[in-house]
Structure 1
Amino acid sequence: MTVEHNGAEDIDRALALLWHVREQHSEPARGRRPRLAVGRIVEVAIGVADAEGLVAASMHRVAKELGAGTMTLYTYVPGKAELLDLMVDQVLAERLLPGPGDERPADWRAQVLLYSDRTRETYRRHPWLREASRVRPALGPGHLAGQEYLLSTLDSLGLGAAQVTAAAGALGTYIDANAALEAESAHLERVTGQSDDAWWDQRSVFWHRYFPVDRHPTMARVWENGGFVLTAAEQAAQAYDFGLNRLLDGIEELVA
């Protein structure tokens, strides 16, 4: 695997694009008006990714959609990596999370649920987001707004600074990971035309012919006692709510 190392100038340019300097245009030739804006490029790239997946949103394809040459795009955005950063940060900003001084739910748990609901909805609208690594995030306003919101919610509980960051990290990772799984499930259903339940039904023969009960007694017992009666979507929703609420219970107990 090739690891990219950006120079200071490249990083500074990428950050400038993220932080609202991005609407500035490259200098056009004398007497000619600029044809594109970075915001429009990002908008079109997101549209392509929404419709056809992240791999389709190449610089060449986005340029074609805009009626421009591929090399023209590089005068606005340095490359695909920077374009992806802009796309991710733009859709994260769509969550419209309350900022400092904005009205928000009074209860801290409800504040976390607001973050959860809006993050999951963002993944549903933009399922390609599951393919974008969040390990080294773009330090843009969309990402930082989410961080500020979670940190401020937990900081209000009187936890120590290290506990606040740990709790925010645990919640953010849990919510993002499950939102990505949900988006993956929806993507598979769309591209295959087969629901998760239909996929499992198609493999029902496994339980009758191949499943070794003696090696999986707990699984068999849970099955016999109704532990797997829900649909795949219902089971995923139940597991998500259970896990999130136990995380919140743990934080609440720590505070108490």
Structure 2
Amino acid sequence: MTAPEQPPESTAEGRRVIDLLWNPEPPPGSRGPRPRLTLGQVVEAGIALADAAGLTQLSMRKVAAALDVGAMSLYTYVPGRDELVELMIDTVYAEHDRPAPGLGWRDRLESFVRESWALYRRHPWLLDHNQSRLPLGPNVLDVEESLYAALAAAGFTGADTVAAANFVRWQLLGAARAMIGDEAEARSTGVSYEAYWGARSSFWTTYFDSERYPTTTAIWEAGGFDDASALSLDRLLDRLLDAVDRARSAT
């Protein structure tokens, strides 16, 4: 297999971050002063700041202040903020346990979803990163491999595996963003999810028109809105199982 052709905008910074992801602590040279910090310390400081204040508040200056060094000195460890974020993401992905290969595909997918959910809860700033540009680091790829392997065990192949993985991933991300975002708003405003909607309950008897919204009414009467959880894992996996059955019957 040949490597894909590099786009013309490929930069030295991009090549450098790949090296840092896969070889973060090369052996020190025999000459020059001993580094005051390690790359791992810089990355951990960035994670701590993002956990506390969010990704939008992360800056090289703040990381340097947390480490009690000059901001310019950080550039001897990492090319810049964007590359630091990539290293942070791959580092926290090491917390994501991978399901045992001997488990059934459904158990493996359940494990993947629950582990991902827990990771987002611990590091909600992950949800602020562009998920289409996850770093090509060993921990991220290990997690991705576990998802693909679970779906392959379910019977998906080729492009169908990617489509099923995206289905799981985007459903999970959407639910996590909604729930974690609501929890953050409840903390900042002091108004819970239940209190917010409870204060607006008069709408249903005053303004809601079942003839204008017949489908919504039918779903309501069938109990479709009774599940208050942001992510119904069983329902998600049932839909995947249906897709597997259709794929097998088509062959």
Question: Normalised by the size of structure 1, how large is the TM-score?
Answer: 0.82
1:18 alignment partner in structure 2: 21
- Aligned residue pairs, count: 242
1:95 alignment partner in structure 2: 96
Counterpart-to-counterpart distance in 1, 2:114 and 2:174: 13
Q: Which amino acid is the alignment partner of residue 146 of structure 1?
A: V
Which has the larger displacement, 156-165 or 135-144?
A: 156-165
Go from structure 1 to structure 2 and tell me whether the alpha carbon gap of 1:248 and 1:63 turns closer, same or farther (over 3 Å shift).
farther
1:66 alignment partner in structure 2: 67
Could you give the per-residue CA deviations for residues 36-88 of structure 1, whole angstroms, max 9, x where no partner exists? Answer: 11111111111111111112221111111111111111111111111111111
Q: Which amino acid is the alignment partner of residue 24 of structure 2?
A: R
Percent identity, aligned pairs only? 38
Aligned-pair distance for 1:131?
Answer: 0.5
Go from structure 1 to structure 2 and tell me whether the alpha carbon gap of 1:151 and 1:92 turns closer, same or farther (over 3 Å shift).
same
1:246 alignment partner in structure 2: 239
Counterpart-to-counterpart distance in 1, 2:135 and 2:82: 10
1:175 to 164, 172, 189: 172
Which has the larger displacement, 60-69 or 165-174?
A: 165-174
1:165 alignment partner in structure 2: 162
Contact (CA 8 Å) 1:130, 1:184: kept in 2 or not?
Answer: no
1:215 alignment partner in structure 2: 212
User: Within 5 A, what are the aligned runs for 1:93-132?
Assistant: 93-98=94-99, 103-132=100-129
Aligned-pair distance for 1:24?
Answer: 4.1
User: Within 5 A, what are the aligned runs for 1:3-82?
Assistant: 7-19=10-22, 21-24=23-26, 30=32, 32-82=33-83
Q: Which amino acid is the alignment partner of residue 243 of structure 2?
A: G
Counterpart-to-counterpart distance in 1, 2:83 and 2:112: 26
Aligned-pair distance for 1:95?
Answer: 0.3
1:203 alignment partner in structure 2: 200
Go from structure 1 to structure 2 and tell me whether the alpha carbon gap of 1:215 and 1:78 turns closer, same or farther (over 3 Å shift).
same
Aligned-pair distance for 1:92?
Answer: 1.8
Stretches of structure 1 lacking an aligned partner (at least 5 in a row): none
1:255 alignment partner in structure 2: 248
RMSD: 2.7
Aligned-pair distance for 1:166?
Answer: 2.6
1:236 alignment partner in structure 2: 230
Stretches of structure 2 lacking an aligned partner (at least 5 in a row): 1-7
Q: Which amino acid is the alignment partner of residue 255 of structure 1?
A: R
- Show structure 1 runs of 4+ deviating over 6 A: 25-29
Which has the larger displacement, 40-49 or 189-198?
A: 189-198
Contact (CA 8 Å) 2:155, 2:244: kept in 1 or not?
Answer: no
Aligned-pair distance for 1:226?
Answer: 4.6
Which has the larger displacement, 129-138 or 115-124?
A: 129-138
Aligned-pair distance for 1:180?
Answer: 2.9
Q: Partner of 1:85: helix, strand, or coil?
A: helix
Counterpart-to-counterpart distance in 2, 1:56 and 1:209: 43
